[in-house]
Every structure is written in structure tokens, then in C-alpha cells.
Amino acid sequence: MTPAKASSRKTSFSPMIHSYLRMDERFPHVWCPGCGIGIVFGALIHAVHELKIPKKKLLLASGIGCTSRMPGYLDADTFHVLHGRALAAATGVKLARPDMEVVVVGGDGDMLAIGGNHFIHTARRNIGMTCIVLNNYNYAMTGGQQSPTTPRDMFATTAPYGAIDDPVDACLLASGAGAAFVARTTTYNFVQLKRLIKTALSRKGFRLLEVVAQCPTIFGRLNRIPTPKDLVTWIKAHTVTLEAAKKMDAKELEDKVVTGVFVDREVEEYSERYARLVKKVRNAH
Amino acid sequence: MKLKRKAFPVTTIEEPKGFIYIYPDLCKGCDLCVVLCPKDILALGDDLKVHVVNPTDCIACYLCEWNCPDFAIFIEKKEKKES
Amino acid sequence: MRRLVSGNEACAEAALRAGIRFFGGYPITPSTEIAELMAEELPRVGGVFIQMEDEIASIMAIIGASAAGVPSMTATSGPGFSLMQEGIGYAAMTEVAVVVVNVMRGGPATGLPTKGSQADFQQARWGTHGDHPVVALTPRGVQECFTLTLRAVEISQRLRVPVILLMDEFIGHMREIVSFPEKVEVYHRQKPRVAPSEYIHYAPDNNYNAPYASFGEGYAIHFSGLNHRSDGFPINDAPTIRWNNERLRAKIEDNLAYLEDNYVDDDPDADTLIVAFGSAARSAYEAKLLTDKPIAYIRALTVWPFPDATVRRLAKGRKRVVVPEMNEGQLAREVERCIGTDTELVSVTRNDGSMLTPKEVLEALR
């Protein structure tokens, strides 16, 4: 294998993404080789850049887990809070500063297990924020325990004989709670991933984007799909679009990841409602 | 906030269609770019870092850049008039 | 301007006048009136009230609002206070100014929802895991529900620390005449005086009255509950951990003079000292007046940090220290730590949901 010779041409190129990162001695970042979180992070930065969201107005919040380390690397206002509590903390920020663009990221465990109650109620209220749930089917940071999304019969360190819990569908949960925008994608399809993040960022109210992301080092190895490329291929093989899914029966859909937009409706964002209430109250006096 | 930015060395490879920029210190050798490149122009070196092995075939499709979890590889397309 | 109001009402009014503009809470007897009043009054002053889904969400929401620059508060009672502990620890670690009002009721568990106690005294200090800075103030009546709420808001903002206002059901629901001052001095957070590129969120020297940035001001600040260095990023090396722990400890240790607040009567002829706080102190002081013997007296308005030095000073050379309280001796434990072996400790406790009476304290003063 003979690598191409480096070009001597002095270029002024500097990657757009690097300008959004706090690139200090903490890089390379903490996530494992081939982990899907970095891809979602890149897509988020692309989306923020293309929508020209000023860094001064951006808040990235997270709870605890692998995904939750993302804010630390972003050069904006960042809020790394307690396990499962990011949506509640972000609610406080959004209502205190409705002008800010609030994005909350978290893993399947952080958002849907310990954070489940806040997930439901933040969606119900349609507080203005984009919630990106990186679903890698396990608690990877703590070594691969089962999470609320671990598929039936797959392995985790706390499901050594295969999971017997039925997984929760984050999109159905958010839709049921009333979220204004609900969609799912995977790290395999970057174009769709970036497009859906941009769509979510441009909507009002609570916007959920679930992203099935590969966790090769932990979940992959526990389920004998150890390399990034195997796991990414496995995810792709289990993915069907919403249109295709409509023509499939429940049995066929059992182990499938359905991607696309499930809910996309106009809502009056909670802080706008509250501002209207304040105006009404203050005019009445 | 006050930040001590760190400069990461970059390797620049010129292509017919554009430039490939690789940051070896950031690459963790996860192999995703190598696998997903439609023209198989990338490979992991002995240092387990990504290298361009046959640059002329690069079609500047950004798949390597998009699928790199570590922000270690970027593509800069050449303007049409240049080539 | 004087009005007959309850402790909960005085607390809510003081919070508004002190500049609280965000309240996130959850219904719980006996503090719910505070939330109800905030729901009614905050919109009038352009503030935000939100009823969250539980007390954990409530403490996190007020932390978020405060981090975004809006002074914030919540109010709860025992069960909710227990749920808020991890959040209080997070506010301590990330140095976010919040006020948590705990209108104490009988505990543990569901306990005595409609009856008062002082049984969360140690929880206010050690409720959350790990060593951490926290301040707790204890009003003895409705007037002090007003004045100590003002002070709680100021301390939280000035020191960037969670402040607990330890009320109880007796004074929360009791009505007394309160004189409301015309003007109230509102403490405003100091803004950073350096450019964002030079700004350090946890600068070594800023534990009192320090300037600090909030979200949305272009300072790109980072908050993390992980032990961290001056820029807020997580660390694992012992020297930096020691530096940050020392910084958090200094927040209280360096400001004891500012924080300490006692009503003291050091009667030189008295060989007995009473140490008390909150509504139990009302009965204790009544007993002091009823007995013919001279009695020295300390009532702590700031119970955390505990006034060790003052208790030591007044206990020295005295025969007895009497500690009346409405729990099973949680204050007595702190007082015992501060008195010599030659001084007898007399613990007068009542923990049945009824008010400790002057008669019970009188018996101990014979």
C-alpha cells in the first residue's frame, strides 16, 4: 500500500467543524473508534452552521452517559447536568431565555429510563427545544447494561441470557405525549440525519429526533457484531423507511428500525404561550 | 471562555477533483471511511491511521468526511474553473 | 406597611421583592401556597412560574433558569426535599445560585403532612452525597420568613451557592402581623469584566460577590456536575480535585462572618445556656422569660454553617446547655460537639407533630 505523497501546496483550508469545537488538549475526543456519537455531533454542527444559528444563542444540554460528553466539546453555552435531567434543566433555560436555541442530547438510557418522566412532560408541554436521542441500545458508558431500547433477545451485561424486556419506541412515546415533531434516522444515512436535524431545529415546540447509532466497542462486541463497519451494516440491514414500512405487516416489522418523519405539526411553543399569558395578566391590571 | 486551542497537524493530498485533508492525531483507525468510500481510495496504514492509497479515483463525495466520528478527514472540492 | 399574613405568603412576597423571577415547583403540603402565590404574582412582574412533573424536575428547572441569568427558587417539604438532594448537590458543584424553601413537616416518608417539625435539620446539611457547600437559614416567625427569604436570595446570588430556607408548617401556615419595608435592596449579579476569550467561570479568587457569566451572553460557558477545573471541564488528577474541593469549601469557610446570624443574650450571671432555632426557639425564649433564673440564650438564624464559635464561647464555663427542638435531637448533636465535657447537655425534644411548649422547656430550666 503506497500512500499518496502529501501536497506541498499551502492551503488556507480549515474545517468548518473544527471552528465549532473547543479543540484543546482534550482532543481526540473520548468516544470509542467508530462510535456513532461523533457522526451525529458532526451532523448537528453542519445543521447549526447551515441554519446560521449564532453560537451566542445556542445551548447544548445533556445528562450523563457517552452522548452526554458532547456539550463539553462544543464551543457554545453547554450544560452537562445530572443523569436523565437534561430536559428539565433545559426547560429552565428556555423559559428564562426564550430567545435561545436549545438542543438537548442524550442516550437511550439517559432519556428514556431515568429521564423518562421528563421526556414525557417536556414533550407534552412543547417547550421549545430539539431533543436528539442517540439510541445505541445500551448503557455503554457503564459497560453495556441493558437499556429500555435493547431489542428482545439481544445481549447486555445485565441481560447475559438475552433481554426479555420489550423495548420502548421513543417516537411513539413522544408522539403520544404530544410532541410537535417526531422523526427517526440512523447514523448510516448522513444526508437524512443532517436534513432531519435541520428540519427539527427549524420547527417550534418539542422536536424529537431519535438516531440509531452504532456502539461497536460495547454493544457490538456483546452481540458479536464487534467492528464499526459490521455494526453499521447491521443497522442498515434492519432499517426500513416509513413508506416501505407501511406495506409491511407487524411480523416483518418486528426487528426493523423505521426511519422518517412520524409527526410534524404546528404548535404554539410553550414560552410563547407563557409570554401571551403574561401580556394578558399585565394588561388586565 | 478562555481556551487553550491546540493545533493538530494536517496532511493534504491533492486530487483531480479536490483536496483531502487528514488529521492523523485525530484518527482512531475505526475503518469507517475506508469501508464506506465508494472508490476504495482509502486504507489504514501500519500506524492504524487513514491514508489515501489511490488519489486519482477520488470523486469528492464527502462520504469519508461525513462518516468520520473523529473529525479527522475533510474534503475540499476544487472549483469547476480550476480543473 | 403592616399586614396580617402567613409565613408562606411572607416568603413568596419577599422572593418577588428580592428579584426572584423564576419559580419551578411541585405541589406538596405544607408549602403549596408558595407555589400558588408565585403562579399568580410572577406573571404580573414578567417572571416565569412553571409547575414541573416532580421535585427533581423542579430543582433542575430552577438551576437551568439561574444558569441562564434569572434568579430562581423552589419550595417544597420533606418528601420533595429528599427528591431534590441530587440537584442541590449539582448546584453546589457547579456553583449555581438557587433558593430552596423547605417547609418542614413530620417525617420520615409521608409522615405528618399537615404538622410541623424541625426534623430535616441535618438533611439540609448532609442530604446530598459528598462534601459540599450549602447554607441554611431558619426563621422563627412570619416576619423572619420575609427577612430571611430576602437574605437567602442575596446569599445565593452573592456566593453562587444553594441556600435552603428551613421553615416549618407551624410558621408556614401561622399568620402574624408583618411590617413590609417600602424599599428592599436587591442584589444584582456582577457581570464579568473581561472579554469572553479571557473569561474563567470558576476563577480562583471569586467566591464572594464575584462577577460571573450566564448562558446567552456570548461567554460559551460550560457547566458539569463532574469534578472540574477552572474552565468547568472534567478532571481526574488529585491536585486539581483538591483545588476544586478547596474552592468549594472556601465558599463557606471564607465567608463565615458574612453568613453567621445569631440572636445572642450572653447574661453573665447565667450558668445555663439555651441554644435553639426556628419556631422551637419561640417556646424556649418564652420559658427563659418565665423562669426567674438568668438564662443565656443563642438563637441561630443561620444554622448552616453552624455557629460553632459562638456556641463554644457562650457554653464555656457554664454548667448546662439546654437544646429544645422538634425532632429527636439533631441540633443537640451539633451543640454537643461544641461544648466541653464539664458542661451538661440537656436535650428537650418533641417530635409528635405538635408545637414544643414553653412548659416543657421550663422543666429543663429548673
C280-336 tens-digit pLDDT: 999 999 999 999 999 999 999 999 999 999 999 999 999 999 999 999 999 999 999
Specify if A191 maps to a domain. yes
A93/C contact by beta carbon, under 8 A: yes
Cβ of A95 within 8 Å of Cβ of C226? The answer is no
Indicate the pTM of the whole model. 0.97
Kindly tell me if the per-residue pLDDT of B80 is higher than 80: no
Rounded to the nearest 10 degrees, how much is the dihedral formed by the CA atoms of C83, C89, C90, C91? 100
Cβ of A18 within 8 Å of Cβ of B28? The answer is no
Query: pLDDT class for A98, splitting at 50, 70, 90?
Result: very high
Kindly tell me if the per-residue pLDDT of A7 is higher than 70: no
User: Tell me: the pLDDT tens digits for C84-100?
Assistant: 999 999 999 999 999 99
Are A137 and A108 a contacting pair, CB within 8 Å? yes
- Into how many domains does chain C fold? 2
Specify if C271 maps to a domain. yes
Kindly tell me if the per-residue pLDDT of C192 is higher than 70: yes
Kindly tell me if the per-residue pLDDT of C110 is higher than 80: yes
Judgement on whether residues C12 and C160 belong to the same structural domain of the protein: yes
Kindly tell me if the per-residue pLDDT of A11 is higher than 70: no
User: Tell me: the pLDDT tens digits for A58-70?
Assistant: 999 999 999 999 9
Specify if A252 maps to a domain. yes
Mean pLDDT, chain C, as a whole number? 97
Cβ of A93 within 8 Å of Cβ of C64? The answer is yes
Kindly tell me if the per-residue pLDDT of C216 is higher than 90: yes
Judgement on whether residues C175 and C282 belong to the same structural domain of the protein: no
The chain B residue lying nearest A190, using CA atoms, is B66
d(CA C309, CA C153): 25
Judgement on whether residues C174 and C267 belong to the same structural domain of the protein: no
- Into how many domains does chain A fold? 1
**Interacting residues of C21 by C-beta distance below 8 A, sequence separation 6+:** C42, C45, C46, C47, C48, C70, C71, C72
d(CA A140, CA A61): 19
**Interacting residues of A231 by C-beta distance below 8 A, sequence separation 6+:** A34, A214, A215, A216, A219, A220, A225
Percent of chain B with pLDDT over 70: 96
Specify if C20 maps to a domain. yes
Query: pLDDT class for B83, splitting at 50, 70, 90?
Result: very low
For residue B51, give how far its alpha carbon lies from the nearest alpha carbon of chain C (Å): 33
Specify if A149 maps to a domain. yes
Cβ of C232 within 8 Å of Cβ of B1? The answer is yes
Percent of chain A with pLDDT over 90: 94
Dig out the grid coordinates for A45 from the structure: 454542527
CATH of the domain at C349: 3.40.50.920
pLDDT of res. B78: 87
Specify if C202 maps to a domain. no
pLDDT of res. A10: 56
pLDDT of res. A275: 97
Q: Which of C194, C206, C215, C231 to substitute to test the interface with B, most B CBs within 10 Å?
A: C231
Q: Give the residue numbers spanning the domain of A279.
A: 26-284
Query: pLDDT class for B55, splitting at 50, 70, 90?
Result: confident
B3/C contact by beta carbon, under 8 A: yes
Cβ of B53 within 8 Å of Cβ of A3? The answer is yes
3-state DSSP call for residue C14? helix
pLDDT of res. C129: 98
CATH architecture of B27-77: 2-Layer Sandwich (3.30)
Judgement on whether residues C140 and C11 belong to the same structural domain of the protein: yes
Residue ending a domain, among C179, C209, C241, is C179
Kindly tell me if the per-residue pLDDT of A285 is higher than 90: no
Dig out the grid coordinates for C360 from the structure: 416543657
Kindly tell me if the per-residue pLDDT of C150 is higher than 60: yes
Residue ending a domain, among C156, C179, C202, is C179
The chain C residue lying nearest A284, using CA atoms, is C44
Kindly tell me if the per-residue pLDDT of B22 is higher than 80: yes
Residue with cell 476544487: B78
Specify if C200 maps to a domain. no
Specify if A277 maps to a domain. yes
Specify if C330 maps to a domain. yes
Q: Which chains touch C (3 or more CB pairs under 8 A)?
A: A, B
C210 burial type by CB count under 10 A (0-12 exposed, 13-18 middle, 19+ buried): middle
User: Tell me: the pLDDT tens digits for A226-255?
Assistant: 999 999 999 999 999 999 999 999 999 989
Query: pLDDT class for A200, splitting at 50, 70, 90?
Result: very high
Kindly tell me if the per-residue pLDDT of C279 is higher than 70: yes
pLDDT of res. A1: 56
Cβ of C64 within 8 Å of Cβ of A79? The answer is yes
Kindly tell me if the per-residue pLDDT of B41 is higher than 60: yes
Kindly tell me if the per-residue pLDDT of A27 is higher than 80: yes
Cβ of B28 within 8 Å of Cβ of A37? The answer is no
CATH of the domain at C43: 3.40.50.970
pLDDT-wise least confident of A6-15, A120-129, C46-55:
A6-15
Q: Give the residue numbers spanning the domain of C86.
A: 2-179
Mean pLDDT, chain B, as a whole number? 93
Are A139 and A148 a contacting pair, CB within 8 Å? no
pLDDT of res. C361: 98
Judgement on whether residues C45 and C141 belong to the same structural domain of the protein: yes
The chain A residue lying nearest B50, using CA atoms, is A3
Q: How far apart are the first and last CA of chain A?
A: 79
Kindly tell me if the per-residue pLDDT of A8 is higher than 60: no
d(CA C50, CA A121): 12
pLDDT of res. C357: 98
The chain A residue lying nearest C55, using CA atoms, is A88
Cβ neighbours around A4 below 10 Å, total: 18
Judgement on whether residues C172 and C315 belong to the same structural domain of the protein: no
Percent of chain C with pLDDT over 90: 97
pLDDT of res. B79: 79
The chain B residue lying nearest A216, using CA atoms, is B30
CATH of the domain at A238: 3.40.50.970
